[in-house]
Amino acid sequence: MKTSIIKSYAKINISLNVVGKLQSNLHKIESIVTFINIYDLLSIKQTNLKKHKISFRGKFSKKIGKKNTVSKLLKELDRRNLLKNKKFNIVISKNIPQKSGLGGGSMNASSLLNFFLKKKIINLKEKTLRNIADSIGSDVMLGIKPKSIVLFSNKKLVQIKRKLNFHILIVKPNFGCSTQEIYSGVKIFSKPQFNSLKKTIQNKKKLFILKNDLENVVYKRYPVLFRIKLFLLKLPNIKFVRMSGSGSSMVAYFDSKKAADIGAKISKKKFNSYWCIKSKTI
pLDDT(278) > 70: yes
Same domain, 9 and 147: yes
Q: For 125-147, what is the mean pLDDT?
A: 95
> Of the residues 127, 151, 175, which one is the last residue of a structural domain?
151
- The better pLDDT of the pair 193, 70 is held by 70
pLDDT at 58: 97
Q: For 209-218, what is the mean pLDDT?
A: 96
Cβ distance 53 to 46 under 8 Å?
no
Q: For 217-246, what is the mean pLDDT?
A: 98
pLDDT at 92: 98
pLDDT(70) > 80: yes
Same domain, 172 and 144: no
Hey, which residues are catalytic here?
11, 139
Residue 104: which of 70, 133, 72 has the closest Cα?
Answer: 70
> Of the residues 151, 183, 213, which one is the last residue of a structural domain?
151
The CATH number assigned to the domain holding 259 equals 3.30.70.890
The b-or-e profile of 111-122 (16+ CB within 10 A means b, else e) is bbbbbbeeeebb
Let me know if residue 261 belongs to a domain: yes
Let me know if residue 158 belongs to a domain: no
Let me know if residue 157 belongs to a domain: no
Residue 12 φ then ψ, to 5°: -130, 145
Same domain, 93 and 167: no
Q: For 161-169, what is the mean pLDDT?
A: 93
Q: For 156-177, what is the mean pLDDT?
A: 94
Q: Give, in order, the Cα–Cα distances in Å from 193 to each of 202, 205, 221.
A: 14, 16, 27
Let me know if residue 156 belongs to a domain: no
Beta bridge partners of 280: 167
Let me know if residue 141 belongs to a domain: yes
pLDDT(257) > 70: yes
pLDDT(208) > 70: yes
Domain span at 205: 163-280
pLDDT at 196: 65
In total, how many domains does the chain have? Answer: 2
pLDDT tens digits, residue range 79-106? Answer: 999 999 999 999 999 999 999 999 999 9
Provide the 10 A C-beta neighbour count for residue 247: 27
Instruction: Count H helices and E strands in the chain, helices first.
Output: 8, 10
Cβ distance 49 to 87 under 8 Å?
yes
pLDDT at 23: 73
Q: For 122-133, what is the mean pLDDT?
A: 97
In this structure, of 1-5, 15-19, 168-172, 194-198, the range with the lowest mean pLDDT score is: 194-198
> Of the residues 103, 127, 151, which one is the last residue of a structural domain?
151
